[in-house]
């Protein structure tokens, strides 16, 4: 149903810059000043989270912007407590905008006596009072089925396609999209189709967790500008090794497009010293100073996509229309000249 009042935004502390950018984009779309809801989300001395909303939200269509990135547990609890606050304040509908969905890598039992944490997190969100989820590039798309509420999973590949067409416009015929593992082929194929490029795969074999024993390149990458595409990059070990492997197989240069730049531990140092020409990430996770200052890391904004997704959710129109170039290009026309 379409709500008569304007959508209201509230943010936790996980990624305030993104929430502010979304509010700014909404202001442009609505032709009026859209601000984040006046609230405080803070911690007591013992680490407990406290939330207080300073404005009336009764009957309002509320959107909580809060990725559950590092520290995942703190940010998840913030999301749940904000939700409970809004529910007890008689909000009309509560939608969680979760640019990065933490615990998504724990989507199945990999061995005996292990949890399916993604399902547990889904249960907690629904029980808290969230009625709809808007997220981006879930690590495993079947997580949508863990919820008994609507889940809209946006994709970064349409935006990456615009970025690639802009930055590689003089040599697009030499571009090859590479999946860093067999499991990511569908994601890589989608991007390859959008830019009309061939597809290659790096097949990796592990002897034990965290250690790669062997990498095999499937496809002819000789003389190609290879673009590795994946949903997230954590410590960047696999990514940097895949880049070296591609160059060893004759690739002209290697770039990477990753949706979620987790970039923990030695990741930034590895990327800085790697053979990759560039690593492109989105701002679904707030970038650290080290990431911002890294010369070969570039950040693509997602605020235009999330702002339009919020508007479409609010007024009851199609969210999947954001996957089409006809809808997407106008949102990014100030950034890309195609």
pLDDT in tens, 7-34: 999 999 999 999 999 999 999 887 788 8
Mean pLDDT of 39-62: 96
**pLDDT at residue 207, as a whole number:** 58
Q: What is the pLDDT of residue 31?
A: 78
What is the mean predicted confidence (pLDDT) over 127-140?
A: 97
Beta carbons of 174 and 196 less than 8 angstroms apart:
no
Question: Is 91 among the annotated ligand-binding positions?
Answer: no
Query: Any idea which of 2-16, 44-58, 213-227 has the lowest mean pLDDT?
Result: 2-16
Strand partners, 135: 98, 153
Radius of gyration of the chain (CA): 20
Average pLDDT (269-281) is 97
Q: Residue 189 belongs to what H/E stretch? A: helix 185-195
Q: Is residue 337 very low, low, confident or very high in pLDDT (cuts 50, 70, 90)?
A: low
106 is in an annotated binding site: yes
Q: Please check whether residue 65 is in contact with residue 11, taking contact to mean a CB–CB distance below 8 angstroms.
A: yes
Angle at 268 between CA 285 and CA 198, to 5 degrees: 80
**pLDDT (tens digit per residue) in 156-201:** 999 999 999 999 988 899 999 999 988 899 999 999 999 999 999 9
Is 272 annotated among the ligand-binding residues?
no
Question: How far is 280 from 260, CA to CA, in rounded Å?
Answer: 10
Query: H-helix or E-strand containing 60?
Result: none
Instruction: Establish whether domains 8-155+303-331 and 157-300 are of one fold.
Output: yes
In eight-state DSSP terms, residue 36 is B
Is 48 marked within a binding site?
Answer: yes
- Alpha carbon distance 202, 245 (integer Å): 9
- 269 labelled binding-site residue: no
Q: Is 47 annotated as contributing to ligand binding?
A: yes
| E-only strand ranges, the chain | 8-11, 39-43, 49-53, 61-65, 93-98, 132-136, 151-154, 175-179, 199-208, 211-218, 225-233, 253-261, 278-282, 297-300
As a whole number of angstroms, the longest Cα–Cα distance in the chain is 61
Query: Is pLDDT of 4 > 90?
Result: no
d(CA 260, CA 30): 28
Residue 29: what pLDDT?
Answer: 81
As a residue count, the chain comes to 338
Write down the CATH number for the domain with range 157-300: 3.40.50.2020
pLDDT at 62 over 90: yes
Q: Give the model's confidence band at 208: pLDDT under 50 very low, under 70 low, under 90 confident, else very high.
A: low
Exposed / middle / buried, residue 234 (Cβ in 10 Å: 0-12, 13-18, 19+): middle
To the question of whether residue 220 is assigned a binding role by annotation, the answer is: no
The Cα 278–Cα 272 span in angstroms is 9
Task: Kindly indicate the confidence band of residue 206, based on its pLDDT and cuts at 50, 70 and 90.
Answer: low
Q: Is 46 annotated as a binding residue?
A: yes
Q: Is the pLDDT of residue 3 over 70?
A: no
Confidence of residue 92 (pLDDT cuts 50, 70, 90): very high
Residues with a catalytic annotation lie at 204
Q: Is 236 one of the annotated binding-site residues? A: yes
- What span, in angstroms and rounded, lies between the C-alpha atoms of 161 and 227? 11
Q: Whole-angstrom Cα distance, residue 66 to residue 96?
A: 7
pLDDT of residue 148 exceeding 80 = yes
pLDDT in tens, 288-328: 999 999 999 999 999 999 999 999 999 999 999 899 988 89
CATH architecture of 8-155+303-331: 3-Layer(aba) Sandwich (3.40)
Instruction: Write down the pLDDT at residue 336.
Output: 76
The share of the chain scoring above pLDDT 70, in percent, equals 96
Please tell me the predicted confidence (pLDDT) of residue 59. Answer: 95
Backbone phi and psi for residue 226, each to the nearest 5 degrees, phi listed first: -85, 135
Q: Looking at residue 6, what is its pLDDT?
A: 84
Q: What is the mean pLDDT of residues 69-88?
A: 98
Cα separation, 8 vs 70, whole angstroms: 25
Burial code of 205-231, b = ≥16 C-beta within 10 A, e = fewer? eeeeeeeeeebebebebeebbbbbbbb
Mean pLDDT of 56-82: 97
Whole-number Å distance between alpha carbons of 136 and 122? 15
Q: Residue ranges per domain, the chain?
A: 8-155+303-331, 157-300
More confident residue, 211 or 267: 267
């Amino acid at each position: 149903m379409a709500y008569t009042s304007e959508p209201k935004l509230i943010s936790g502390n996980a990624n305030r810059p993104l929430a502010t950018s979304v509010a700014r984009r909404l202001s442009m779309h609505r032709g009026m000043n859209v601000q984040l809801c006046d609230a405080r989300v803070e911690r007591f001395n013992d680490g407990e989270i406290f939330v207080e909303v300073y404005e009336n939200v009764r009957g309002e269509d509320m959107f909580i912007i809060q990725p559950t990135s590092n520290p995942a547990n703190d940010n998840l609890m913030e999301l749940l407590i904000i939700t409970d606050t809004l529910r007890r304040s008689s909000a009309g509908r509560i939608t969680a905008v979760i640019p990065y969905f933490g615990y998504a890598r724990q989507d199945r039992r990999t061995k005996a006596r292990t949890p399916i944490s993604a399902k547990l997190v889904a249960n907690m969100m629904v029980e808290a009072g969230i009625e709809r989820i808007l997220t981006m590039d879930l690590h495993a798309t079947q997580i949508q089925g863990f919820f008994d509420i609507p889940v809209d999973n946006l994709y970064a590949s349409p935006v990456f396609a615009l970025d690639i067409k802009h930055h590689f416009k003089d040599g697009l015929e030499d571009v090859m999209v590479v999946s860093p593992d067999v499991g990511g082929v569908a994601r890589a194929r989608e991007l390859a189709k959008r830019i009309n490029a061939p597809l290659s795969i790096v097949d990796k074999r592990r002897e034990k967790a965290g250690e790669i024993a062997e990498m095999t390149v499937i496809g002819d990458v000789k003389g190609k500008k290879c673009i590795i595409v994946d949903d997230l990059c954590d410590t960047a070990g696999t990514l940097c090794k895949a880049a070296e492997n591609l160059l060893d197989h004759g690739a002209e240069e290697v770039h990477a497009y990753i949706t979620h730049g987790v970039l923990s531990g030695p990741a930034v140092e590895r990327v800085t010293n790697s053979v990759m020409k560039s690593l492109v990430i989105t701002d679904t996770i707030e970038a650290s100073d080290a990431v911002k200052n890294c010369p070969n890391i570039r950040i693509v904004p997602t605020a235009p996509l999330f702002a339009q997704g919020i508007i479409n959710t609010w007024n009851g129109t199609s969210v999947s229309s954001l996957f089409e170039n006809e809808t997407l290009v106008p949102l990014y026309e100030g950034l890309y000249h195609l």
